[in-house]
Structure formats: C-alpha cells, structure tokens
Amino acid sequence: MRIVRSRIAIAIAIVASIAMGGSAGCNTDPRQGSLGPLAPASTTGLGNRAAIDEVRVAPAFDPANFVSRIDNPYFPLVPGTTFSYREPTTVGIETIDLEVTHDTKVILGVIATVVRDRVYVDGSLVEDTFDWYAQDKQGNVWYLGEAVEDYKDGVVVSTAGSWEAGKDGATPGIIMLARPRIGTTYRQELAPGVAEDQATVVSLAKSVSVPHGTFRDCVQTMEFSRLAPGSRGYKFYAPGVGLVMELSPAGGRGRVELISVVRP
C-alpha cells in the first residue's frame, strides 16, 4: 500500500540507532510487549545492508499458482471493506481511506484485486492511488503495482511513483509472506529508479493499541529502500485485520493509526 511505502519507507529519513523491533519472537522478551514510547532496541543482523540482502526470499511467480481471494490473516482484502487511518502532521491532520474495491485488473496473467487509497489533509484530497494485489496458493500476497495521482488545489500535479509489473522492467513483489519469520527479508516491489522497497520481519508478537482497538501477536516489519539509503519505517499487521499502524521514530511524522474498519 502506498501509505506504507511513500510515507514511511521513502519520504521519511530515520536514523537507524533509534530503531525498535527485536530479535526475539516470543512474549518473554519485554520488547515484544505493549508498544509504548519508542526506545532503542537491538536490531542485530538487520541493520547491515549486506546481511539484509543475503537473507532475501523470492518465491517463484507463476500465474497458474494464484487464487481469486486474498485471505492471508495479516493482509486480508475482502471486497467492500474500507480502512481509515489518521496521522497528525505539521501541515494538518492527514486521513487515509483504503477501499477494497470489487474491481480487478489482469497483470502478467494474474487477476489482481484493486485497492483504492485516498489521502486527505484537513479534508482536501492530496493523493488518489489504485494498488493491485493478488495471493498465490501458498498464501503469499503479491504487490503488482500502483497508479498514483498527486493533487494540489484539486488538480493532478504528479503521477510519480506509478508502476506496473511487466512494464519498463518492473517485477512483482511481496507485500505479506504466507509464513512470516523473524529475520526474513523480501522485496515488496522492484521498478528500477521508481520503487525499490524491501521489508524485513523483526517481530511476530507485538501488542499495538490504536483508536480502533488493541491487538496482540502483530507482525512487525522494517521497511527500507535503495532509493532512500538510511531511511527506515515500521509497520504492524494484526491477525484478522491487516495493517493497524505505521511508525516513524524520527523525522517529524510520527504514527499512522487505524481509526476504523467497515466490513461488507
């Protein structure tokens, strides 16, 4: 989802020394408890770029290996569902509405689900994006691209960041693994020079409180991009819900929190 990529992994410069997360995957480690004020925590094996690249996983992309639904417990996309998020910023209150549409788009022979992502600042539309996702038979959720429109005063001013797998050298990525494991790194997208985000699983047992509720056993990932060296972002996925929070420990943007979910 674009709110994950552009706001956290690319647009925000974050110093690695204040990264949170953990090398343990059980609740016996205090770092896996409720998410309170940010504090330094070990990211052994995660902060070294070469080490990250060495553990990257890349499931095979086979159009015959996809299913029509997306029911990965950490990234379920049921058509008709809407997710609303909020983030206070220095320019106003940013709200993000994600709508899992009933529309589909065929990309590389795969029928992808279309998710519409609209971003507002103090009620004014600043971004309207369509993201394309599909799930394979193993349960991995693939990211197949996005069509981006940035607005100013009601007028489209940019489509930067748009890409589609199979065009201009872009290849599909993974937005959520079927079986997340701590330390696993994977490509979320690869459109050379446009979108080159990756993610590493850093926890499987976070507890997160947001306006929509308190969630346990969340998967936490750390995002980074070759296009923004040194930048880091964190996102948290709750079982049965999906993305519930994004964090920028520094850089002036803070927290993107799930406000509500409306199901069909």
Q: Dump pLDDT digits (tens) for 214-260.
A: 999 999 999 998 888 878 899 999 999 999 999 976 544 579 999 99
Q: pLDDT by residue (tens digit) across 124-181?
A: 999 999 999 999 999 999 999 999 999 999 999 999 999 999 999 999 999 999 999 9
| pLDDT band at residue 56 under the 50/70/90 scheme | low
Q: Is the pLDDT of residue 39 over 90?
A: no
| pLDDT band at residue 57 under the 50/70/90 scheme | confident
What is the per-residue pLDDT for 41?
30
Q: pLDDT by residue (tens digit) across 1-38?
A: 444 444 433 333 222 222 333 333 333 332 333 333 32
Segment 91-118 mean pLDDT? 97
What is the per-residue pLDDT for 95?
97
Tell whether the torsion through CA atoms of 74, 80, 86 and 89 is positive or negative. Answer: positive
Query: Under a CB-based contact definition with an 8 Å cutoff, are residues 163 and 195 in contact?
Result: yes
Contacts of 19 (CB under 8 A, 6+ apart): 40, 41, 43, 46, 47, 222, 232, 234, 249
Contacts of 102 (CB under 8 A, 6+ apart): 79, 80
